[in-house]
Amino acid sequence: MMLKQISHDVLYRGKVIDLVVDQIEYPSGNRGVREIARHPGGAVALPLLDDGTVLLVEQYRYPLKTEILELPAGKLSPGEDPLQCARRELEEETGWSAATWESLGSIYTTPGFSDEVLHLFLATDLTKLERGPDRSEGESGMRVHRLNIKELVRKSVCGGLHDAKTLCAILLYQNREEM
């Protein structure tokens, strides 16, 4: 169904998102409002070590007022290739790099109100960097964890993980392995 845009108002331009309100018209002629968070998208790395463990980061998420366990990920810079973003975020957040990368697909995070798309990648052939992580001030309390991929799959199914991008990447990886 195509909706006709009647008006478009940018309410806020931010570092991470822009907030817009569109007045729309349905095919019936009735009108409605769509509030949208515009986001440049991002990339996620599932860094799998040779021993079957995955590198995850635990970081404080201000909107949730708690720390969560998640895969390394970050926002795309203007014009940045998603794979390059995933490489950068893996190195900055964990202090590791990967020689082999494979796409696991892309996801719409919250299509009811946002246009954010996250690109998911499997990172293998990992090497620990001598310099270590290169985190921003907001990431300074971040901690790196190593968990077995089988345990992560179990946690994904049993409610031990709550971050959507992490759940999606783990389950896409698991299904890829079973096909």
Q: What is the pLDDT of residues 69-127, one digit of tens each?
A: 999 999 999 999 999 999 999 999 999 999 999 999 999 999 999 999 999 999 999 99
Residue 134 has pLDDT above 90, yes or no: no
The structural domains of the chain, with segments of one domain joined by +, span 4-38, 42-178
Spatial strand order in the sheet of 31-38: 4-13, 18-25, 31-38
Confidence at 139, pLDDT banded by 50, 70, 90: low
* CATH number given to 42-178: 3.90.79.10
Number of H helices, E strands in the chain: 3, 10
At 178 the pLDDT is 67
Structure-block tokens of residue 137: 């001030």
Beta-bridged to residue 21, according to DSSP, are: 9, 35
Confidence at 49, pLDDT banded by 50, 70, 90: very high
Element (H, E) at 86: helix 82-94
Task: Tell me the average pLDDT of the chain.
Answer: 93
Distance, in Å, from the CA atom of 34 to the CA atom of 168, rounded to the nearest integer, reads 27
- Indicate which residue of 137, 139, 151, 177 is catalytic: 137
Give CA 129 to chain center in angstroms.
23
Query: Could you confirm whether 137 is annotated as catalytic?
Result: yes
Beta strands 42-47; 117-128: pairing state: parallel
Structure-block tokens of residue 41: 């998208």
Confidence at 29, pLDDT banded by 50, 70, 90: very high
